[in-house]
Amino acid sequence: MLVSDVMTRKVVAIGPDTPIRDVQALMEQRNIRHFPILETRSSAEPDALIGIVSDRDVRLVGADHPRAPVGLTAADPISRLMVYPVLTAHPDDPIEETAKVLRENKIGAMPVMDEGRLVGIVTGIDMLDALVRMSGVYEAASRIEVEVANRPGSLAELLRHVAARNVNVSSVMTTRGDPDTVTFVLRVATVDGHGLARHLRGLGFSVPWPPDARLDVSAHAPRYSGRAGDEDDGSTHEA
């Protein structure tokens, strides 16, 4: 999945001379948290991206907060508050690389640029939406975690056994606990996830999820008093 698959294309941008109070009002009216700031160039060139501002930046202006900007008022232009230079993404960037940049730089959004032109914006919420879509949770499926050796062919072997049960796999994700093992999180097109898990355990696979549904029948069986037809209700019976 690429940035172009999840980005917002109808971007609302503002000019550098827009008063901070107007930016705050626009954010509230349109429920927007980030504004790219564009500076007009000649008619032959696209507007230049010169900054970005977030709702958090705007809310701090005039606030009684240790991080509130000093000497700024709501009447000042947004150019005095904007963040620059701006980290940007490209429409063809993989979303996992973009998510990494967002996380490492602790930012909530990145304008998307193509040949010097602003074509979209991608946010942390977009990354969460992409994760949900990639995980396949919107499809009717069961979730299974299988831990295997971290070596070539482990996933192929696992999928071969799943396919042998005539079960389709809608998504595959991974987690790693140590260098020697890898856990594959599968979304499988069956309502009998426990049955597939039991089958894989029987083949020697480690299946942390779903838990083994088999119960100790003896521990849950009803107790009887010894007289036919009487169930033991926990009270003491004398002969």
Q: Which domains does the chain have, with CATH numbers?
A: 3-131 (3.10.580.10), 136-216 (3.30.2130.10)
What's the pLDDT band for 208 if we cut at 50, 70, 90?
very high
Has residue 1 got a pLDDT over 80? Answer: yes
Residues 6+ apart with CB under 8 A from 189: 139, 140, 141, 167, 168, 169, 170
Closest CA to 17 of 37, 47, 35: 37
Angle at 161 between CA 159 and CA 162, to 5 degrees: 60
Average model confidence (pLDDT) for the chain?
88
Residue-wise pLDDT for 107-165, tens only, equals 999 999 999 999 999 999 999 999 988 888 888 889 999 999 999 999 999 999 999 99
d(CA 1, CA 96): 8
What would the mean pLDDT of 49-74 be, rounded to a whole number?
92
Give the pTM. Answer: 0.75
